[in-house]
Structure 1
Amino acid sequence: MLETAQFLKSQMDYIFFVYGLAFMVLGVVCFTRQRSPQEVLPWLFMGLFGFTHGLNEWLDLLALTAGDTPLFSSVRLAVMAASFAFLVEFGRVATIKLGMRTVGRWILPVLLLVALLLGSLLGGQSGLNGGFRYALGLVGCLWAAFALFAKASTLEGLRRRWLISAGIGMGLYGIAAGAVVPAAASFPANFLNQETFFAAVGAPIQLFRAFFACWIMLAVWAYEQSRFEESHLMMKRRWYFRATVAVLVMTIGLGWTLTNNLGKLYQEDLRRDIDAGTSLLAHRLSVDTTVTQGLATAMSTSNALAGMPGTAPDTLAQANLLVDRYSAVHPGLIAYVMDRNGTVIAASNRHQPTSLAGRNYSFRPYFQEALAGRLGKFFAIGVTTGEAGFYASAPIRNGRQEITGVAVVKHTLDPEALGLTHFQDAFLVDANGVVLLSGMKGAPYGLWPLPPDLLRQTQASQQFAGKEVTSLAQQRFGNGEWISIAGKKFLAGRQMVGQEGWSIVLLRQEKASLVNRLFGIILTLMISVLILVSLLVLQREFGTEILLHQNQKRLEALSHELERQATTDTLTGALNRLKFNAILGQEIKRSQRYHTPLSLIMYDIDHFKRVNDTYGHQVGDSVLVQLTSLVAPRIRETDSLARWGGEEFMVVVPHLNSSEAAKLAEKLRERVETTAFTGVGRLSCSFGVAQFAPDDTADTLTGRADQALYLAKAGGRNRVVTA
């Protein structure tokens, strides 16, 4: 899990890229969508949020790769605050348009004031960042999510599901972006922050934010795709959308591979260079410490110290002569002898202002180790000399193997002699990262902050006396890890020296690998933009085609309606006389060409004038409508029913002779006779039937049908007569 976490940390630049790209696409989708009068959601504000928030993430990417400054950090903070303000306005306007009671635009300055207040309480630039996220980010995201849910409740089908998905994604993003903030000194930022989240989950919060950003973008995009009714054009448009998303995902994946490989071109060389540097420094130090330990051991077994413990002049003279001889081996050595109480009785620097002679160092661990019969090793800053060095000690024994004193050799560590100044950002540190020696001017107390109890314990030991408590990085790091120092990225190398946790640390800022990774990201961005532009052009063309198709369908429907109005009777819905004449003319020609029978049925309502006079014309019109509804379903699809005039109707009956047409008329007569008409009760109709003859015209045929109807009337009505 630790390796995975470190890998994800190394991919922060690409995470910021995808994060920003998702919101940029969201902005493009919102700004290029086709306007609809039925749409109440203010997508303009969502688009502004997408553009500004995506820009903010890309500015974070730039700060990560090129370095940060207080001014640049302030600019990013302002852009982030503006993006969340757009999201607040989206939620506010949406709730108004959805008919809900809400607050006015005054809420924005109030939230801004709350953000500044929270930022001052949390403290510092990170505290201000947290304040904006709490007051604007969390509120804006949750408000926008509520608006999306509210709009979804008015929809159905696929559009409803996509908008609900967008609301869920926005709510989760609000928690990730508005509740997990940069670490600050006060609650809750000191409890729930980006560092504690990374420690608990093993992944940076930006990875989850990027995921939710992609979720929101795809949901809103799919919601936009589902606006139009199903058609072959709409299906084609969706196919292009899905294909583009697949190609875009593939491009981002290949771009990540390219970015990593470009970065590794220089990172591997840098790692080898750092490993060589730390190994060289560790080897030099190891040689010095090994020689120093050997000198201390050899000095402890000298016959000149056989008289220990003793303060006789000859014994002290022999001891002083001995420490002088051992310190002469190297210019940076100080040799001295301590009695069992820890007091220095002989020292090679006894004639210097920083003489150790007569001083007591019983508190030093190297003395305590030797007094316990073991060889002592200790890195520390001298409390008397103020110089860093390596202390090697060994117990002095008498003939009965009793420990009578301690022999110590201090090797004064010089940064230039060790080669630390050649590398500049090189440090000799203990297991807790506390700096003993460095090639850097004004080196910090530690490479990373220490817990308060450990800091007090370290200061009490006087091992690093006189150093100001400062730290270089914000968190602990190991060999091969990238760290951020003053807004710049460094690769750390660490080589252990000895078994006490001491190590050589070397930091190198390598801009070439970062520039290479940035080149890979820019290349991926350019390809992604080309893909998106191509899709947007196609989407616009398809959108225009869909609108033209819809307009064409509306025109066709309007044309059909106009044709229907021009060819049908406005009261009954039957064909009008004009359309009847056209159909009869066509059927006569067809009958003549193919020698098929053609008949005509003419009927009207018996005593219809009585109906109008008794019940009124409105009831009479209702009877005509009811009669048409009764007859129309009982004739064939090939037959044509028309209103001839007043209460008279015609039925063109192709392919039937007069007897067959008379049977159809008889069925209609019986059905009318047995039907109770609303408002008047039972009525009857008289029918006249005529068959087309070779010498007939349309007028003669209708005239003979009319004559047959007249005979039906004269014969007592409610009957069928054939001409």
Structure 2
Amino acid sequence: MDYIYFVGGVLLFISSAVCSLLAREGDGLADWRLIGGSALLLGARRALGFAAYTQGLVIGWPEAELLCLAGALFLLAEAGRRAWKFNPLYFYSPLAVLFAAGLNYGVAGGDLGARLAFGLTGGLLVSYRFFGSRGAHRSACARRAVLLMTAGMALYSLFSAVTPPASAFLYAASLNIVSVSRSLGFGAEYLSMMLLGLMGAGVWVYFFTSRDGCSLWATRAGRTGLAAAAVFLSIFAAGWALTEKTSASAEREFSRHLSLQARILAGRFAGLTLRADAAAEALSGSPLLLEYLGKGGPVSRAGAESALDRYCGSHRLSVCYLMDMNGRTLLASNRGEPDSFVGKNYSFRPYFAAAAAGGRGVGLAVGLTSGERGYYAAAPVRLRSGVMAGVAAVKINVSDIAPEMAAADKAFLVSPEGVIFMSADRADLFRTLWPVPAERRAELASSRQYLSVRFDPVLPAEIAEGGRVAIDGKEFVARRVLVGPEGWSLVVMQSGTPVHMARLAAISAAAVAALLSIIFFVFYSLSESARDKAEEALRLKEQVGSLEGIISICASCKKIRDDKGYWNQVEAYIARHPESSFSHALCPACARKLYPEYCDDKAGGGEGGK
């Protein structure tokens, strides 16, 4: 999309410059100053879109873009009004009402209001003006250029009217740029750029054919214009290919880096869970715990507590504790701390229920006592007779990997339901990453697995393995990896800035090439214009010289008239002007002699007479 913005912006800026030249030459087909100003503002709007895209912004600067759009389309409407000499009050009153009605629905509604009120009205009026004036040109090439401008202007105005951003104003909820792109099977911006190109080509050809009334090939300026157009098309095509190739390479490298980052975080989390699982399994088989559950007493209690302390320290765990079959905590490694687990009942925890049933219990939850997020693993403690006498459980604080998650732009540890359990940004904790069905919300709220859950999702839908997502108006590339307990996942997101910067570098290369081409053709055109002027001056000088070299000679007596009007003998004149050539005339004496009836008797004669 960034390249579409770039090419469209360049086409609009070039069209604006050509319109300014047509206005300077006084072309009367349309008010070219207004049309050129409209193209300039539309180009500025494209530049804003390009800048937003290269920064990974999904929304960009909608107010500034609307201001450029409304200003551009107003100038176009004014050009149409002047072409048909409509009364300003009657012309603008309904258009202003329509635009104001759109603004009531926000920026997107104002966008559609401007397109309908000013863009569609002005575009159709100007294009009809073009079409009605096509016969005023002698050149068939100029008439075809006017038809190109007519078609481009009319189609672009109509297409813009049916591709607004989605809004609740008029039909924009169902007929908008997204729905049109879906129907076409490709981005509507591509077709918009083609229509801009059609209109720009018409203006370009008209500029080179309207002045001389001949085809592009007939003049040096026309051939230069064709060459410039061909060079620009080649640069844009080569720039597109370079941008896509550079983007694909950067995308592969970026994707590899993101996947590696997700796997590293997943491996780090898996290491924590495996350590906790192994510790719970080993602790459940400790003879000291078996002795305490079987015999009780202070001595066995001290031994069991020492076992809990030893396992907690050697496996780098947060807490190790022993519960009876009712879920009440008998012993804990944090027994001397204010948030001791001793005496607390955790029979509601899913990991306890799974272990009490004879299996392995695991889970992620927020500690009700400590308030810390942790991974819990539990295993049944069986006496030598095989009877289950209790449950050994361990907790490991998962916040240890939070600094590593902060290395990504955004990283989330997400429950199967979509609740964010861990995030580098604490503001996102216990918020749903994607929408949660209504029937699951009450269940989550009553599970006490999390302190509280906010059901305002970050994303509009659940993501599968990955893809592009938008958060707070900025685009990210996401990767999702399954980790830990069944259904839990790690979602890592990075801004696509490296890919955007790679594309920007390629587009910049195309822009530099286009700029150098423009500079070359400008200087070439200036030199050709100076050459044409010099040749014309030389031709005029030769004509003047040839006229100056022609002198009058009397057809009868052969006297010669000099530059002062006196008639002289031929020998004297040739001696003074050897470079002259001759034409015939009659001196006064010969005229009186040959045609006395036409001569003035008072006129002087003789060799020195006039």
- TM surpasses 0.5: yes
1:19 alignment counterpart: 8
Amino acid at match of 1:518: L
Deviations, residues 195-246 of structure 1 (Å, cap 9, x unaligned): 7777887765544544443344345545666757974555667665555444
Bigger drift between 14-23 and 32-41 goes to: 32-41
**Where do 5+ consecutive residues of structure 2 fail to align?**
136-142, 533-610
TM alignment of 1:281-300, pairs within 5 A: 281-300=265-284
**Partners of 1:541 and 1:110 in 2: CA distance:** 52
Q: Is the 8 A contact 2:15 2:36 kept in 1?
A: yes
State the distance in 2 between where 1:329 and 1:493 align. Answer: 34
Note the C-alpha offset of 1:51: 0.8
The CA distance in 2 between the partners of 1:105 and 1:419, in whole Å, is 60
Equivalent residues of 2:288, 2:300 under 8 A apart: no
CA distance in 1, matches of 2:418, 2:401: 21
Shift of 1:255: 1.9
Structure-1 separation of matches of 2:182 and 2:379: 44
Matched residue, 1:381: 366
* Contact kept in structure 2, 1:326 and 1:335, CA below 8 Å: yes
Residues of 1 paired with 2:425 and 2:389: CA distance? 42
| Cross-structure match for 1:80 | 69
* Amino acid paired to 1:62: A
Q: How far did residue 163 of structure 1 move?
A: 1.6
Shift in CA distance, 476/55, structure 1 to aligned 2, threshold 3 Å: farther
Larger mean Cα displacement after TM superposition, 361-370 or 260-269:
260-269
**Cα distance change on mapping 1:264 and 1:40 into 2, 3 Å:** closer
Does residue 280 (structure 1) correspond to residue 253 (structure 2)? The answer is: no
Change in CA separation of 1:349 and 1:186 when aligned onto 2, cut-off 3 Å: farther
Q: Match of 1:380, SS?
A: strand
| In structure 2, distance between residues paired with 1:168 and 1:422 | 49
For residues 295 and 345 of structure 2, the distance between their equivalents in structure 1, rounded to whole angstroms, comes to: 16
Distance in 2 between the 1:471 and 1:360 partners?
33
Aligned equivalents of 2:505, 2:199: Cα separation in 1: 28
Q: 1:120-135 alignment to 2 at 5 Å?
A: 128=107, 130-135=108-113
1:383: Cα distance to partner? 3.1
The CA deviation at 1:483 is 5.9
Determine the C-alpha separation between the residues in 1 that align with 2:322 and 2:228. 80
In the TM superposition, residue 82 of structure 1 has moved relative to its aligned partner by 2.0
Residue 52 (structure 1) shift: 0.7
Q: 2:200 aligns with which of 217, 242, 246?
A: 217
Q: Which residue of 1 aligns with 2:596?
A: none
| Structure 2 CA distance for partners of 1:53 and 1:391, relative to 1, 3 Å | same
Aligned partner of 1:147 in structure 2 is: 125
The two structures have a TM-score, normalised by structure 1, of 0.58
Could you state the TM-score of these two structures normalised by the residue count of structure 2?
Answer: 0.67
Q: Is the 8 A contact 1:336 1:407 kept in 2?
A: yes
Q: 1:108 to 1:535 in 2, by over 3 A?
A: farther
For the structure 1 residues 187 and 142, does the alpha-carbon distance in structure 2 shift closer, same or farther, using more than 3 Å as the test? closer
> Contact between 2:4 and 2:190, CA under 8 Å: does it hold in 1?
yes
CA distance in 2, matches of 1:71, 1:153: 38
1 CA distance for matches of 2:529 and 2:347? 87
Give secondary structure in 1 for the equivalent of 2:374: strand
| Alignment correspondent of 2:114 | 136
**Separation (CA, whole Å) in 1 of partners of 2:184 and 2:27:** 44
Distance in 1 between the 2:262 and 2:370 partners? 28
- Whether contact under 8 Å (1:339, 1:405) holds in the other structure is yes
1:517-548 CA-partner distances (Å, limit 9, x unpaired): 434323322322444566678899999999xx
Q: Aligned in 2, Cα 1:284/1:383: closer, same or farther, shift over 3 Å?
A: same
CA drift of 1:139 comes to: 3.1
1:33-69 CA-partner distances (Å, limit 9, x unpaired): 3689995544433322211111122123223335779
Structure 1's 424 and 513: CA in aligned 2 closer, same or farther, altered over 3 A?
A: closer
SS in 2 for 1:414: helix
Structure 1 position 171, deviation (Å): 0.9
Conservation of the 8 A alpha-carbon contact between 1:152 and 1:164: no
Match of 2:150 in 1: 163
Q: For 1:35 and 1:531, how far apart are their aligned partners in 2?
A: 23
Alignment CA distance shift 1:195-1:231 (3 Å): closer
Give per-residue Cα distances to partners, 1:316-370, cap 9 Å, x unaligned: 9487665445334334332334555555454433443333344444444434444
CA distance in 1, matches of 2:453, 2:214: 77
Name 2:606's counterpart in structure 1.
none
Count, aligned residues = 520
Tell me: CA distance 1:171–1:365, structure 2 relative to 1, closer, same or farther (3 Å). farther
* Mapping for residues 602-613 of structure 1, pairs under 5 Å: none
- The separation in 2 between residues aligned to 1:180 and 1:344, in whole angstroms, is 60
1:113 aligns with 2:100: yes
Alignment-derived partner of residue 411 in structure 1: 396
Q: Aligned to 1:103, which of 80, 90, 107?
A: 90
Identity %: 26
Q: Tell me how far apart the structure 2 counterparts of residues 82 and 93 of structure 1 sit (CA, whole Å).
A: 17
Contact 1:427 1:436 in 2 (8 A): yes
Name the structure 1 match of 2:231: 247
Provide the rounded CA distance (Å) in 1 between the counterparts of 2:104 and 2:402.
Answer: 53
1:4-403 alignment to 2 at 5 Å?
A: 12-33=1-22, 41-66=30-55, 74-94=63-83, 96-97=84-85, 103-107=90-94, 109-119=96-106, 128=107, 130-148=108-126, 150-151=128-129, 154=132, 158=144, 159-160=146-147, 163-176=150-163, 179-181=164-166, 206-221=189-204, 231=214, 233=216, 243-259=227-243, 273-302=257-286, 317=301, 323-338=308-323, 342-370=327-355, 373-396=358-381
Question: Would the alpha carbon gap of residues 153 and 53 (structure 1) be closer, same or farther in structure 2, given more than 3 Å must change?
Answer: closer
Tell me the secondary structure at the aligned position of residue 276 of structure 2. helix
Summarize the Cα distance change of 1:227–1:102 in structure 2 as closer, same or farther, 3 Å threshold: farther
Following the alignment from structure 1 to structure 2, what is the Cα–Cα distance between the partners of residues 412 and 80?
54
Q: 3-state DSSP class of the match of 1:356? A: coil
Shift of 1:252: 1.6
Say if 1:88 and 1:140, in contact at 8 Å, map to a contact too.
Answer: yes
Q: Which amino acid aligns with 1:103?
A: Y
Q: Which residue is 1:568 aligned to?
A: none
Deviation at residue 26 of structure 1 after TM alignment: 3.1
Distance 1:93 1:310 in 2: 102
1:444 touches 1:470 (CA, 8 Å); kept in 2?
no
Does the 8 Å CA contact 1:376/1:394 hold for their aligned counterparts? Answer: yes
Structure 1 residue runs without a partner (length 5+): 1-11, 120-127, 547-723
CA contact (8 A) 2:228 2:521 kept: yes
Please give the alpha-carbon distance, in whole angstroms, between the structure 2 residues aligned to 1:201 and 1:69. 22
Q: Which protein, 1 or 2, shows the higher relative CO under an 8 Å CA cutoff with sep ≥ 6?
A: 2
User: Which shifted more, 292-301 or 71-80?
Assistant: 71-80
State how far apart, in whole Å, the 2-side matches of 1:344 and 1:188 are. 64
SS of alignment partner, residue 214 of structure 1: helix
Shift of residue 452 of structure 1?
6.5
Q: CA deviation at 1:387?
A: 0.9
* 1:521 partner SS: helix
Structure 1 partner of 2:509: 523
- Could you tell me whether the CA contact under 8 Å between 1:173 and 1:212 is conserved in 2? no
RMSD, aligned CA: 5.0
The separation in 2 between residues aligned to 1:374 and 1:23, in whole angstroms, is 70
Give matches, 1:639-678, under 5 Å: none
- Structure 2 residue aligned with 1:637: none
Partner amino acid for 1:465? Answer: L
- Following TM superposition, by how much is the alpha carbon of 1:478 offset from its aligned partner in structure 2, in angstroms? 7.6
Cα distance change on mapping 1:312 and 1:85 into 2, 3 Å: farther
